[in-house]
Amino acid sequence: MSLPIRNVAIIAHVDHGKTTLVDSLLEQSGIFREGEAVPTCVLDSNDLERERGITILSKNTAVHYKDTLINIVDTPGHADFGGEVERVLGMVDGCLLIVDANEGPMPQTRFVLKKALEKGLRPIVVVNKIDRPRADPNVAVDKVLDLFIELGTDDDQCDFPYLFASGLAGFAKEALEDEDKDMQPLFEAILHHVSPPVGDPEKPLQLQVTTLDYSDYLGRIVIGKVHNGTIRMGEQAALVREDGKIIKNRITKLMGFEGLSRVDVEAAAAGNIVAVAGFADANIGETITSPDDPQALPLIKVDEPTLQMTFAVNDSPFAGQEGSYVTSRQLRDRLMRELETNVALRVEETDSPDRFAVSGRGELHLGILIETMRREGYEFQVSQPQVIYREVSGQPCEPYEQLILDVPEEAVGGCMERLGQRRGEMQDMMMAGTGRAQLEFVVPARGLIGFRGDFMRITRGEGIMNHSFLEYRPLSGEIETRRNGVLIAFEEGVATFYALKNAEDRGVFFIEPGTRVYKGMIVGENNRPQDLELNICKAKQLTNHRAASGDELVQLQSPMEMGLERALEYISADEMVEVTPESIRLRKMNKKLAKR
Any residues with CB less than 8 A from the CB of 4 and at least 6 apart, and which?
67, 68, 69, 196
Domain ranges of the chain: 5-193, 206-289, 390-474, 486-571
Q: How would CATH label the architecture of 390-474?
A: 2-Layer Sandwich (3.30)
Query: Using an 8 Å Cβ cutoff, are 109 and 97 in contact?
Result: yes
| String of DSSP letters for 179-197 | ----SHHHHHHHHHHSPPP
Quote the pLDDT of residue 77: 46
- Closest to 85 measured CA to CA, from 266, 270, 303, 298: 303
What does pTM read for this prediction? 0.70
167 Rama class: left (phi>0) / alpha (psi -120 to 50) / beta? alpha
**DSSP code at position 278:** S
550 known ligand binder: no
CATH superfamily of 486-571: bipa protein (2.40.50.250)
Helix, strand, coil shares of the chain, percent, nearest 5, are: 25, 35, 40
- C-alpha–C-alpha distance, residues 320 and 497, integer Å: 27
Does domain 206-289 fall under CATH 3.30.420.40? My reply is no
In the three-class reduction of DSSP (H, G, I as helix; E, B as strand; rest coil), residue 52 is classed as helix
Quote the pLDDT of residue 39: 46
Name the amino acid, one letter, at 452.
Answer: R
Query: Using an 8 Å Cβ cutoff, are 382 and 311 in contact?
Result: yes
315 known ligand binder: no
- C-alpha–C-alpha distance, residues 54 and 41, integer Å: 10
Quote the pLDDT of residue 311: 94
Each of the 596 residues of the chain gets a pLDDT tens digit; together they read 467 888 888 887 666 677 778 777 777 765 544 444 444 444 434 454 444 444 334 457 888 888 888 888 877 644 444 455 666 777 888 888 888 888 777 766 776 777 788 878 888 888 888 887 777 888 888 888 888 887 777 777 677 888 888 888 888 888 888 888 888 888 888 888 888 888 888 888 999 888 777 777 787 788 888 999 899 999 999 999 888 888 888 999 998 887 767 888 898 888 888 889 888 888 778 899 998 888 888 887 666 788 899 999 999 999 889 989 999 999 999 998 888 767 678 899 999 989 999 998 777 778 888 988 999 999 999 998 888 888 888 889 998 888 888 888 899 999 999 898 888 999 888 876 678 888 889 999 888 887 877 888 888 888 877 777 788 899 887 876 656 889 999 899 999 988 888 888 898 999 999 999 999 999 999 988 888 999 988 887 766 555 555 555 567 788 888 888 788 888 888 899 999 999 999 999 874 444 43
In the three-class reduction of DSSP (H, G, I as helix; E, B as strand; rest coil), residue 107 is classed as helix
Per-residue burial over 510-532, b = 16 or more CB atoms within 10 Å of its CB, e = otherwise: bbebebbbeebbbbbbbeeeebb
253 known ligand binder: no
Quote the pLDDT of residue 133: 78
153 known ligand binder: no
Any residues with CB less than 8 A from the CB of 158 and at least 6 apart, and which?
145, 148, 149
Quote the pLDDT of residue 111: 66
- C-alpha–C-alpha distance, residues 386 and 341, integer Å: 23
CATH class of the domain defined by 5-193: alpha beta
**DSSP code at position 122:** -
Name the amino acid, one letter, at 379.
Answer: E
Q: Which residues pair with 467 in a beta bridge?
A: 403
- C-alpha–C-alpha distance, residues 50 and 53, integer Å: 5
Query: Using an 8 Å Cβ cutoff, are 571 and 518 in contact?
Result: no
Quote the pLDDT of residue 76: 61
17 known ligand binder: yes
424 known ligand binder: no
271 known ligand binder: no
230 known ligand binder: no
Quote the pLDDT of residue 28: 74
Taking the mean position of all CA atoms in its chain, how far away is CA 18? 15
- Closest to 72 measured CA to CA, from 83, 58, 56, 87: 58
128 known ligand binder: yes
Query: How many helical (H) and strand (E) elements, i.e. helices and strands, does the chain have?
Result: 15, 35
- C-alpha–C-alpha distance, residues 102 and 127, integer Å: 9
131 known ligand binder: yes
Query: Using an 8 Å Cβ cutoff, are 581 and 324 in contact?
Result: yes
Name the burial class of residue 60, with classes exposed (0-12), middle (13-18) and buried (19+) by CB atoms within 10 angstroms of its CB: buried
Any residues with CB less than 8 A from the CB of 550 and at least 6 apart, and which?
none
Topology agreement, domain 5-193 and domain 390-474: no
